[in-house]
Structure 1
């Protein structure tokens, strides 16, 4: 019995010794610079797996050899393993935040991964450490273009050229931006609402003209509404003036002589960018029929990689109390801000998005119960001159004249916009 136990212990000891020796054999023991050169040659000769094994082996003994770790991350990016690359770049930047070449490689990794918002955020962080650096500014302009901000991209490129007019790369990029930059746009937006009960189908159509200026954008709209077998027009202007960097406003004015719209509507909102890719806003909307209704609103938005989350509440004071509603929205961007999938969930009734005449039933209308889900898909042409969108929404809403009972509303929206100089 004892002999069997001894034999078992010898076997276990032999196994552990073999395992230890195997581990020792894998431990790196050589000249890191010479091995790094070999790894680079392997990587550039399309033998990246062997190169990565060599680099990882060196890092077992020299984990803070940052140049090796950055090159390892770069090879991951070449192989479209962007998450693995991001992890290695983050390791280096955390310990060596003044490593410019790693910042540049890390930004390029985010761009290659189709994460332009993340790339833009990284360029802003890098510029705090390397102010006015032309190479990082160029990457910032590229990220701005990819987030559908060509005017901001052009401003960034012009800043580079103001510092160095002979920068050929920047000059060529400016030519490219001018070709694709369209400061004017014309668009059509059409919505049809189908009701499960009570009402006939309703239509809402918008024709708009927009122009981008250095002070912000301006959009003029003509809205056509067909409801209750009646037609109505509304004339509207939206302004988005720039106030300062990361700070802009929204101003709206609308006029109509149809009971289907407010006689006058106006509103304003201030938007402010915050650290960590957050944005907040605060404003109001006023609708003037024979009585006046003011809705207070705001928003909290957050960009995370190529995703965007937002929450917008509506607070409507009334003579019999205050009504509230809100919407949570999510967008998943693809190549740029014109190409994304959207989902929103809403609860409560808001006069801002449901314009009714408040002559007699203001209290009952603004306190209507309602739930809504909206799915949207938006895409553009390859030259970015045309943009299309489609939305489908389902609303479960309390009937105005029969509280406690509900109907369903099925909404289909189609939009098209063309941009030109």
Structure 2
């Protein structure tokens, strides 16, 4: 209560101490330094509009008081009014091109405005005035990273470290850039299902290679399964093409000549980012055995802090009616997207996650009752080059040929990925 009163009094002093009214004209007549200090206090106490009014009136008498104009521009950046900020920074730099603090603030404004190419052009000009300046080089590397040029950004960071090898900020940035510059990934995934009755253990193995491109990522996979005392191979390709900012797709196709897999599987899904850190998707998966089954799916995801929640339903129409299942997932991230604890709870049977040869028994299989709980932990080595993962799941599932009776399935999954340039 007292702090709010102090803020109000500060604003009253700033308003009446700074301006005098003569007819219809408002003229600044106070001490610009005192008024500037009052405006700063207002800005730092969430009263930026009042602070901006004060700063603008001071500038009517002292238009070349660069520190005031620069602070005004900075408050515009805070409020995402990047065009207004750009105009004020340009005014200062036109009159004083050697004002380094204004250059750095102006470049940051372009980065915050998601204008990395403009920021990159500004760093080129600034570095002619301030050669090898570490702060501007850092901003240049940030702009290069934002334009999807991690290799160029790495070279720029190396210039900073050549000058100051102990620059911790640059060292941390280098580690992050090294991760982004590794566009290639190879990985192995192995899993085993242990059944409490009926079936022998089933094995699932995947060898994959992925590459990140400016158009999105592409992943090729070879899947090997050993089930029902038989071996089988499947060849798959996943594509994640970028369509626009916050809008991308998932495309998949898989082929096999083994009864352990669909002869052909394919699918597509569109993902869209929404305000308030939400993401939604909608798509389908099609599995072709002797008959063809199409599963309609989608998702609703929500990022909150270091946590991520998602729900994915599966809707499978069939001759005997429509089957439905769903999975609720939660992730708690640590340092980045490759380090997290994951939990999921699933209800219902879906042929998307349970690929069996239905052999004409789609109706009975799709309506199986099933409940599943999964916990996984994923982590990387210190240089972020190797990524490891482990999952453990327990499933309570109705027996296909004995409705009303259930068995337990205990699943263990291990994965490893190596990222390289």
Q: Choose the corresponding residue for 1:161, options 93, 108, 120.
A: 120
Superimposed CA distance per residue, residues 303-354 of structure 1 (whole angstroms, 9 cap, x where no aligned partner): 1111111110000000000000001111111111111111111100000000
CA shift at 1:159, angstroms?
A: 5.5
Aligned to 1:186: 186
Q: Which residue of 1 aligns with 2:378?
A: 378
Task: Provide the rounded CA distance (Å) in 2 between the counterparts of 1:400 and 1:216.
Answer: 40
Q: What is the CA distance between 1:160 and its match in structure 2?
A: 2.6
| Contact 2:42–2:51 (Cα < 8 Å) also in 1 | no
Does residue 365 of structure 1 match 2:365? Answer: yes
- Tell me by how many angstroms 1:386 deviates: 1.0
The TM-score, its normalising length taken from structure 1, stands at: 0.67
1:170 partnered with 2:143: no
The runs of at least 4 consecutive aligned structure 1 residues that moved more than 2 Å come to 65-71, 91-105, 125-134, 136-141, 156-160, 162-167, 170-173, 176-180
CA shift at 1:263, angstroms?
Answer: 0.2
Which secondary structure does the structure 1 equivalent of 2:357 belong to? coil
- In structure 1, stretches of 5+ residues that fail to align are 1-22, 34-64, 72-87, 106-122, 142-155
Distance 1:276 1:227, change over 3 A: same
Match of 2:390 in 1: 390
Q: SS of the counterpart of 1:316? A: strand
| 2:232 equivalent in structure 1 | 232
Distance 1:96 1:195 in 2: 69
Judged with a 3 Å threshold, the aligned counterparts in structure 2 of structure 1 residues 406 and 160 are, in CA distance, closer, same or farther, namely same
Helix, strand or coil at the partner of 2:259: coil
Give me the whole-angstrom Cα distance separating, in 1, the residues matched to 2:116 and 2:418: 25
* Kept in 2: contact 1:236–1:253 (CA 8 A): yes
1:144-181: per-residue Cα shift (whole Å, max 9, x none)?
Answer: xxxxxxxxxxxx75663144323422334512365332
Match of 1:313 in 2: 313
Name the SS for the 2:352 alignment partner.
Answer: coil
Alignment of 1:111-122 (within 5 A): none
- Structure 1 segment 20-35 matched on structure 2, within 5 A: none
Matched, 1:413 2:391: no
Specify the alignment match of 2:205 in structure 1: 205
CA distance in 1, matches of 2:48, 2:314: 42
1:224-257: CA deviation from partner (whole Å, max 9, x where unpaired): 1010111100000000000111110000000000
Distance 1:388 1:340 in 2: 11
How many residues get paired? Answer: 316
Instruction: State how far apart, in whole Å, the 2-side matches of 1:331 and 1:342 are.
Output: 4
Residues 159/397 of structure 1: CA separation in 2 closer, same or farther (3 Å cut)? farther
Cα displacement (A) at 1:373: 0.7
Q: Deviations over 1:178-215 (max 9, x none)?
A: 53320000011111111111111111011100000000
Query: Cα 1:275–1:129, aligned 2, differ >3 Å: closer, same or farther?
Result: farther
Please say if residues 378 and 388 of structure 1, whose CA atoms lie closer than 8 Å, have aligned partners that are also in contact: yes
Question: Within 5 A, what are the aligned runs for 1:108-147?
Answer: 134-135=107-108
Give the deviation of 1:380 after TM superposition.
1.0
How far apart in 1 are the matches of 2:188 and 2:47?
A: 49
Q: 1:100 to 1:205 in 2, by over 3 A?
A: farther
Q: Identify unmatched segments of 5+ residues in structure 2.
A: 12-37, 53-70, 87-104, 128-135, 143-152, 155-173
Output the aligned Cα RMSD.
Answer: 3.3
Which whole-Å CA distance do the structure 2 matches of 1:323 and 1:99 have between them?
60
1:92 and 1:102 in contact (8 A); partners too? no
